[in-house]
Structure 1
Amino acid sequence: MATKRAEPVTIISLRKLSLDTPEPQPKEPKTFTVEDAVETIGFGRFHIALFLIMGSTGVAEAMEIMLIAVVSPVIRCEWHLENWQVALVTTMVFFGYMIFSVLFGLLADRYGRWKILFMSFLWGAYFSLLTSFSPSYIWFVFLRTMVGCGVSGHAQGLIIKTEFLPTKYRGYMLPLSQVFWLAGSLLIIGLASVVIPTIGWRWLIRIASIPGIILILAFKFIPESARFNVSTGNTEAALATLERIAKMNRSVMPEGRLVEPVLKKRGRFADLLDAKYLRTTLQIWVIWLGISFAYYGVILASAELLERDLVCGSRSESETVVTVGVSEESQSPCHCHMFTPSDYQTMIISTIGEIALNPLNILGINFLGRRLSLSITMGCTAVFFLLLNICTSSAGLIGFLFMLRALVAANFNTIYIYTAEVYPTTMRALGMGISGSLCRIGAMVAPFISQVLMSASLLGALCLFSSVCVICAISAFTLPIETKGRALQVSAAGVS
C-alpha cells in the first residue's frame, strides 16, 4: 500500500515561498544640492533685496567711470592739459581696472565673492575721496588709476546675484540691472550740470563717492554665495544661508541633507583653457574685447560727431584749437571747451538710449537664447556704425547714436549673463575677471580710433568699428554652449 508524501511537498513549497520574498532594504537618506535648494525655494523677498543692493553696485560703478567724461573739460582748462594728457586719465583708469579685474577674480574664487566685493568698495571709496584733494595732474592720474583698480571688483555683485537666482529668473532679472548703470550715468551727468558751475569739480567727486559708502553699510544684509561656501566644504554656512533665504521668502527647504563635492582646485587660469572650455573661453574673450571697443567707441565718437560735425564736413579747422592764458608763456594749444547746458542735455539723451532696447533684449535672451540674441544685436550694431557715415540733420545723427547706445548696452547685458552662466562655480569669478580685463583693453584702444583715426578718415574708423562687431556676431553665433535654461555648473566635470 502506497504512502502519501504530503509533508515533503509542503516543506518544498515553504522553501520556495521563503526564497521568493525579498528582504527589506534600509532606506537611503535623502540628499539635495544647492541647485536643488535654490530652485525649490524659488524667487521672493530675499531676491528683491539682493537685486536692489547688488544692482546698486552698478550705480556706484557708473558714477565713477562716467565721472571722467564730465570732469575732463574742467581739469583740461585748470591744468592746461593737451589732448593726450586728458586721454591718459581714461586710459590709466581702465589700465588699473584691467590688472585688478584678473586679481580680484582669482581671489574671489579662492576666498569668496562677498569679501572681494566689500574690499573693492572700500578701496574705491577711499581713493575716490582722495582724488578730490589732488594737488596736481600727476596725482589726479595716479589716484583715478587706484579708483579703477577698486571698481574692477564690483563685478562680484553680478556673480552673487547669478548664484542665488533660480534658473528661470536669471534671464529676466540680470538684464534689468542695466537700469542701475543708467541711473548712475544720469545721476553723475545731472550732478555735474549743477555742482561743477557752482562749487566745483572737487565737490562733485566727493558727492559721487557717497553711493559707494552707503553700499558698504548695506552689504551686511547680503550673505556669501552658498554655492561658493559648499564648494569649499563649508556646508554649515551654506545651509544656514539657504535656510535664511527660505525663511525670508516664506518658502520651504528640500527634504534631506545638503551634499556637494568639495572642490580643492578653484580659481586656476589653466582651467579656462582646458579642452572643455578652450573654444568657449577664446570666443568669449573676442566678444568681450569687441563689445567694449564698440561701447566706448560710441561714447567718444558721439562728442566728436556732434561737436565737430565730421559727417557733413562743415567743421572749421580754426575752431579745433583754443589757446589758454593771456601771455605767450602761458598759452597752451589745448581744447578748452566747458560743457554747456545743451551738452549735458545731449549726454542725457544718448545715455537714456542704453535702456531703450531692454525689453526686447530680455525677450531675446529668454526666447531666442543667449547666443542668437547676442549675434543679432552685434550684427545690428555693425549696421548702425556704417549708417553714421550718412550726412543727415542733427536730430537724425542723435537718432543713430541713440540706437547705437541701445544696441551696445544690450550686447553688454547678454555677454555678462552668458559669461556668469557658462563657467562653473570653481572658476566663475576668474572667468568673469579675465573677461572684464580684456574688456578694458578694448576701452583703452577705442579713444585712438574715435578721436584720432576718425578725424583723419571717418569712413575708415566706422568701417573698423563695424568689422569688429561683425566678427563678434559670428563668434557669438558659433559659441559651443547655450546657457538658456541651463543649471549653473559646480565643476568642469558637470559640463554637458
Structure 2
Amino acid sequence: MAAKQTEPVTIISLRKLSQAAPEPQQKETKTFTVEDAVETIGFGRFHIALFLIMGSTGVVEAMEIMLIAVVSPVIRCEWQLENWQVAFVTTMVFFGYMVSSILFGLLADRYGRWKILLLSFLWGAYFSLLTSFSPSYIWFVFLRTMVGCGVSGHAQGLIIKTEFLPTKYRGYMLPLSQVFWLAGSLLIISMASVVIPTIGWRWLIRIASIPGIILIMAFKFIPESARFNVSTGNTQAALDTLESIAKMNRSVMPEGQLVEPILEKRGRFADLLDSKYLRTTLQIWIIWLGISFAYYGVILASAELLERDLVCGSKSESEPEPEVVETTGDSEEGLSPCYCHMFAPSDYRTMIISTLGEIAFPSGCIRTYTIMNPLNILGINFLGRRLSLSITMGCTALFFLLLNICTSSAGLIGFLFMLRALVAANFNTIYIYTAEVYPTQMRALGMGTSGSLCRIGAMVAPFISQV
C-alpha cells in the first residue's frame, strides 16, 4: 500500500521537472541593436525616399550660398560698394553659420535631428524672404547673416541619412548626394541669368526661397532617427520606426528584443576633447577648415575672375575697360572708385561649365560626363576614407598652383573645372568620415563643431579671393 502511494508522487515530480525545463530558454532571449536592425533590413524603397528628400537639402543650401556669388555684382552697383564691402557679405553669412552650427549640434544631440532640421529650414526660409526687401546694404548683411544661421542646421539631414543607411551603402549614397548641391548651384546660376536682367535680384531671392518651403512639407515623410530615439530611452518609438522601414522595404526585422543602453550624457562639448577623441577632433577641425577655404575660395575667385575679366592677372587688352562709378565718400579726396561690371551671358555660361566640374567625382554615372570615372566613390570604398582624402587634397593643392600659370580663357575654365571636382570630392569624404567616426551621443555635435571651424575658412576666403 505504501509503494502504491509513492509511485504517483514520482510521476508528478517528473512532470514538474519536465514543465520547468524550458526556464533556461527564457533567459536566452535574443536581442538586437539599431545597428543590427539597419543592417538586417537592408537598402530599399525607404532609403530611396530618404536619399531624395534629405539630399534635396543640398539644393536649398547650395542656392543660398551661391546666391551671393551671382548677386554680388548687382548690389555692388546698386549700393556703390567697395571690394571689402562685397566680401564682408559672404563673411557674415559664414559667421552666422559658424555661431549657430555648434548650437544646432548641441540641440540636435539632446532634442532630436528632425526637429532641428525643421527649425533650421523655417528659420532660413523666413529670413531669406526678408532679404529681398532689404532697404540698404546694412540690412542686407544682417538678414543674410540670419540666413547663414538657418543653413547651418541643414547638416542634420546628412546625419539622418547616415544613421539610417546600412554601412556598405554609405560610401556610395552619401557621395552621390553631391548631385543635389550641383543641381542647386546650376539652378541658381541659370535663374540669375534670366531673372536678374529682367525683374531684378530681389525677385531672384524670392524665387530661390520656394524650394526650401516645398521641402519643409516633405519632411513629414521622414521619421526621427531611430538611433537617437533609442539613445534617449524611447525604445518603442525606435522600434516602430524600424518596423515601418522594414515594411516599406518589404524586408524583415531581426529576431528578439531591441536593446541598447540609454545615453544620459548627450551633446557634451567636453566629450569631443576627451583623450579618446582629442586627436581625431583636432585633425578633423583642421581638415574641415582647409577644405572649406579651398572650396569657397575657388567659387568666389571664379566669380571675381569673370567679373573683372582677368586672365594672367591683368585685364584683357581686347576688351574695353569696366565702367567705373565714382561715388561721394567720407575720404579726403571725396571719391571712392567702385567697379560696376554686370555679368554677361557668357559669364554665366562659364560659371555653369566650371560648376559642372563637381560632377566628375561624385556623379560620374551621368553619361554626359563619363569622360571622368566616379573616382571619388571608388576611392572611398576601395582605398578607404583617409587615403582617398589625402589623394584628393594633394591634387587640389596641385591645381591651385596650376591656376597661377598664364593661360587662355579655355585653360582657366579647365583648371576651374578640375578644382571644383577635387574640392567637392574633399567635402564628400570628410562628411562621411566625420559622421562615422563619432558615436550617436556626440555625432551631431561633432558635425556642428566641424561645420563651425569649416566656416572660419569660408569667412577668410572672400578677403583672399575678392579683396
Q: Would you call these one fold, judging by a TM-score over 0.5?
A: yes
Unaligned runs of 5+ in 1: 452-496
Distance across 2 between alignment mates of 1:69 and 1:422: 33
What is the rounded CA distance, in whole Å, between the counterparts of 2:101 and 2:450 in structure 1? 8
Please give the alpha-carbon distance, in whole angstroms, between the structure 1 residues aligned to 2:20 and 2:340.
96
Q: 1:406 Cα deviation (Å)?
A: 0.5
Q: Contact between 1:324 and 1:334, CA under 8 Å: does it hold in 2? A: no
- Distance in 1 between the 2:6 and 2:255 partners? 53
Deviation of the 1:299 alpha carbon: 1.5
Measured in 1, the distance between the counterparts of 2:243 and 2:13 equals 55
**CA distance 1:441–1:258, change in 2 (3 Å):** same
CA contact (8 A) 2:122 2:216 kept: yes
RMSD in angstroms over aligned alpha carbons?
A: 4.6
Tell me, in whole angstroms, the C-alpha distance in 1 between the residues paired with 2:199 and 2:3: 122
Q: Could you say which residue in structure 2 is the equivalent of 1:243?
A: 243
Taking a change above 3 Å as real, the CA distance of residues 235 and 340 of structure 1, as seen in their structure-2 partners, is same
Aligned residue-pair number: 451
Deviation at 1:338, TM superposition (A): 0.7
Kindly indicate whether the alpha-carbon contact (under 8 Å) linking 2:327 and 2:336 is maintained by their aligned counterparts in 1. Answer: yes
2:406 maps to 1:391: yes
The Cα of 1:297 is off from its aligned counterpart by 1.4
CA contact (8 A) 1:311 1:389 kept: no
Per-residue deviation, 1:300: 2.1
- Judging changes above 3 Å, is the alpha-carbon distance between structure 1 residues 135 and 89 closer, same or farther for their aligned structure 2 residues? same
SS at match of 1:80: coil
8 Å Cα contact 1:323-1:335 kept in structure 2: no
Structure 1 position 137, deviation (Å): 1.1
Alignment CA distance shift 1:304-1:191 (3 Å) = closer
Q: Structure 1 residue 25: deviation in Å?
A: 6.0
User: CA deviation digits over 1:338-392, x for unaligned, max 9?
Assistant: 1110110111011111121671100000000000000000011111111112212
Shift of the 196–182 alpha-carbon distance from structure 1 to 2, 3 Å rule, reads same
Q: TM-score when scaled to structure 1?
A: 0.83
d(CA) in 2 for partners of 1:291, 1:378:
8
Match of 2:168 in 1: 168
Unaligned runs of 5+ in 2: 361-371
State the shift of 1:84 in Å.
Answer: 1.3
Instruction: Tell me by how many angstroms 1:7 deviates.
Output: 20
Confirm or deny: 8 A CA contact 2:226 2:241 kept in the other structure.
yes
Residues 421-460 of structure 1 correspond to what in structure 2 (within 5 A)? 421-451=436-466
Residue by residue over 1:72-96, the C-alpha shift from the partner in whole angstroms, topping out at 9 and shown as x without a partner, is: 1111111111111111111110000
Does the Cα contact within 8 Å between 2:385 and 2:433 map onto a contact in 1? yes
| Whole-angstrom distance in 2 between the partners of 1:53 and 1:24 | 47
Deviation of 1:237 after TM superposition, in Å, equals 0.3
The answer to whether the 8 A contact 2:310-2:316 is kept is no
Contact 2:104 2:116 in 1 (8 A): yes
Aligned in 2, Cα 1:206/1:20: closer, same or farther, shift over 3 Å?
closer
Residues 302 and 20 from structure 1, CA distance in 2 versus in 1: closer, same or farther, beyond 3 angstroms? closer
CA drift of 1:301 comes to: 2.2
Deviations 1:282-302 (A, max 9, x none): 000010000001111111222
Q: CA deviation at 1:18?
A: 15
C-alpha separation between the residues in 2 aligned to 1:417 and 1:212?
24
Return the offset for 1:55. Answer: 0.2
SS at match of 1:24: helix
1:393, CA displacement in angstroms? 1.7
Deviation per residue, 1:461-496 (Å, 9 max, x gap): xxxxxxxxxxxxxxxxxxxxxxxxxxxxxxxxxxxx
Shift of 1:303: 3.5
- Tell me how far 1:115 sits from its aligned partner: 0.2
Separation of aligned partners in 1, 2:24 and 2:423:
63
**Deviation, structure 1 residue 331:** 6.5
> Compared with structure 1, are the counterparts of its residues 393 and 253 closer, same or farther at alpha carbon in structure 2 (3 Å cutoff)?
same
Counterpart secondary structure, 1:317? coil
